[in-house]
Chains A and B, each alone.
Chain A
Amino acid sequence: MSESMVRVEGLKKYFSTARGLLHAVDDVTMDIEKGHTVGIVGESGCGKSTLGRTIIHLLDKTDGKIFLEGEDVSDVKGKDLKRVREQMQIIFQDPYSSIDPKKSIRDTVKEPLKVSGRYSKSEIEEKTDMLMDLVGIDERLKYAYPHELDGGRRQRVGIARALALDPKFVVCDEPVSALDVSIQAQVLNLLKKLQMDRDLTYMFVTHDMSVVKHISDEICVMYLGQVVEKCPSKELFKMPLHPYTKALLSAIPSIDIDHPNKREILRGELTSPINPKPGCRFAARCKFATEKCLEPQEQQEVSPGHFVRCCRVEELG
């Protein structure tokens, strides 16, 4: 039995808006194994970033449970909350807005060490140097300011900050989507190397299917706050079961010009995540939708480790 790093049960996060409750994360249950990378894919507004932020206690959950290495950390407060946050960190999407423009990058990397109150002054300096070497920031740039760096280097600063307190679990929230491909590859390699060296567990949030396939062991497909399919990464690309996953995979523009994807163009309007009806949220755009789809959908395990939230999955094969 492999050990669980993070487990969430029935996690919900609602935001109240002028027009009603926005169900950003709705009844998500999942297990993330130690040392694994779980990719969370889905389109903008599907709640994938909110899910990550809720798990690491950056947002307060509405309902549900969160376990860290078996310990129930759903409602931790005060000192325990501090400890939990130190163990669960986040790397942000936008390398331009995620680091304070008025601070030198060294101060940014140093800050978590200072705030933790665990280290002496000389230890802080030493650790800061170590972290900057770790993420590959050149010696000559150690005292630079964010605006002097390109996106890739800034993202390295963000990574160094997240790793400063030796977390066990890191949410990577679209860490490469703002970067050019050649730089993106550098950062992905760095993340992979850090994971191997420091035995990290990643939750990798992205909308880029080729990136998620590359980095993940398992993939969760989210649609409007719910996980519609979850399975090992390779299986998802070989045998997608949920109609949304199929449409999503077919929409990826392939660089193989001899075998272009047969694009499946979705019709129909997006369902609003505000006060959604109980049925399947993809039904309005799904060509297989029947009356049964208007009832609440349960997550079912169709084969070991392969979960799907679609009542017609068996019939559709």
Chain B
Amino acid sequence: MDNTAENKEFLSVKNLKVEYFSGKTVVHAVNGVDLKMYKGKTLGLVGETGAGKTTIAKSILRILPDVGARIVEGEIKLDGKDLLSLKEHDMRKIRGNEISMIFQDPMTALNPVQRVGEQISEAVKLHSDLSKEQCEERAKEMLKMVGITEDRYYEYPHQFSGGMKQRIVIAIALACNPQVLLADEPTTALDVTIQAQVLELVGELQKKFNTAMLLITHDLGVVATVCDEVAIIYAGRIVEYGTKEQIFHHPSHPYTLGLFGAIPDMADDDIWLHPIEGLPPDPTKEIVGCAFAPRCKYATEACLKGEIPALTTEDGHISHCINMKSVLSKEGK
């Protein structure tokens, strides 16, 4: 390990392939994904339902179901440690302690019959040698930090509103000062004004603890507000990867362009939207060539053959599109 830690990725995912299977059907959920996360930075993982976003997060945390799912190949390294080769016993020490996850639905992520304070202190207890009182102390501190008064320690989840519940979930996730936070659509179930509060809170806490964060979302607005880097995923493959500025100013993969085009533009009065025609590919079939080609208006015959190489610009903007140049000129960029 070299010591120039600042610019070194803290968590890296290399060529991750994950499959789900039942009987003879195999679902190719993740097909060779590379990601890098840095301390204090947020990486946005953007894609549609079924693109494999949550599967990637679950693979990092190794909480995929034992039966019916397997990591076919790939490497996940946390600060040099290979997570995939760790024993389950050692992995348990990492979960919730070094890597935490915030789940999408705050309504189901909490235990309805346990007091919220106890749920937080339990998380602390699992990963520390603190006494019961110290854990409680820490839990109250966490509650305060997410903006909930400590006298609500003894209340049950149903006594809180959706936004408050999500804050409790965040408090649990951050209780052990994790170095990596995996946030799976943390604000999708929340109203916009509450979403703004939660995003603000997560941003503050991230700065304070210098956490590396993976933000999974389908909302490009949230990405624009929160992320430093963005990975666009389609059918289990990263199609475009770059800094926020690169992706938002110079989107270069037709899928990314399509996503931007499909959002109703607040500044535009055109009555027709520009949807991406067609549907994502059937994940049970092996795909040769570019997965997006059947829906892509720029697709050529070459797109349907062989591996699609990653094209990287000098400043590190990656796009998996062999026709990138002609696409960009046709889009007028």
A residues contacting B by CB (< 8 A) are: 43-44, 150-152, 180-186, 188-189, 192, 207, 209-211, 213-215, 237, 247-248, 250-257, 260, 263-266, 270
B192 engages A210 (CB within 8 Å): no
In the assembled complex, the CB of B178 is this many whole angstroms from the nearest CB of chain A, namely 24
Answer whether A181 and B263 are a contact pair too, CB < 8 Å, given A207-B191, A207-B192, A265-B197.
Answer: yes
Return the CB mask of B250-287 against A: 1 if under 8 Å, else 0: 00000000111011111000011111110100000000
B196 engages A263 (CB within 8 Å): yes
B199, B258, B275, most chain A CB atoms within 10 A: B275
Give the residue name and chain of the B residue nearest to A212 (CB).
B264
Is B128 on the interface with A (CB-CB < 8 A)? no
Residue in contact with A192 in the complex, picked from B162, B258, B259, B272, CB distance below 8 Å: B272
In the assembled complex, the CB of B248 is this many whole angstroms from the nearest CB of chain A, namely 5
A182, A215, A250, most chain B CB atoms within 10 A: A182
Q: Which residues of B contact A255 (CB under 8 A)?
A: 220-221, 224, 248, 260, 263
Answer whether A211 and B264 are a contact pair too, CB < 8 Å, given A256-B224, A263-B196.
Answer: yes
B49, B273, B274, most chain A CB atoms within 10 A: B273
B260 engages A44 (CB within 8 Å): no
Answer whether A181 and B200 are a contact pair too, CB < 8 Å, given A43-B193, A207-B191.
Answer: no
Give the residue name and chain of the B residue nearest to A182 (CB).
B276
Chain A interface mostly helix, strand, loop or mixed? helix
Q: Which residues of A contact B266 (CB under 8 A)?
A: 209-210, 213, 237, 252, 254
Q: Which residues of B contact A209 (CB under 8 A)?
A: 192, 266
Q: Which residues of B contact A188 (CB under 8 A)?
A: 264, 273
Q: How many A-B residue pairs have CB under 8 A?
A: 108
B194, B265, B266, most chain A CB atoms within 10 A: B266
Interface residues of B in 194-228 (CB under 8 A from A): 194-197, 199-200, 218-222, 224-225
Residue in contact with A266 in the complex, picked from B193, B225, B248, B249, CB distance below 8 Å: B193
Give the residue name and chain of the B residue nearest to A186 (CB).
B275
Q: Which residues of A contact B276 (CB under 8 A)?
A: 182, 185
In the assembled complex, the CB of B60 is this many whole angstroms from the nearest CB of chain A, namely 23
8 contacts across the A-B interface (CB closer than 8 A): A43-B193, A180-B49, A181-B262, A185-B275, A214-B273, A254-B224, A257-B244, A260-B224
Interface residues of B in 107-127 (CB under 8 A from A): none
B275 engages A192 (CB within 8 Å): no
Give the residue name and chain of the A residue nearest to B277 (CB).
A186
Residue in contact with B193 in the complex, picked from A150, A211, A248, CB distance below 8 Å: A248
A213 engages B264 (CB within 8 Å): yes
B191 engages A43 (CB within 8 Å): yes
A265 engages B264 (CB within 8 Å): no
Give the residue name and chain of the B residue nearest to A153 (CB).
B279
In the assembled complex, the CB of B298 is this many whole angstroms from the nearest CB of chain A, namely 16
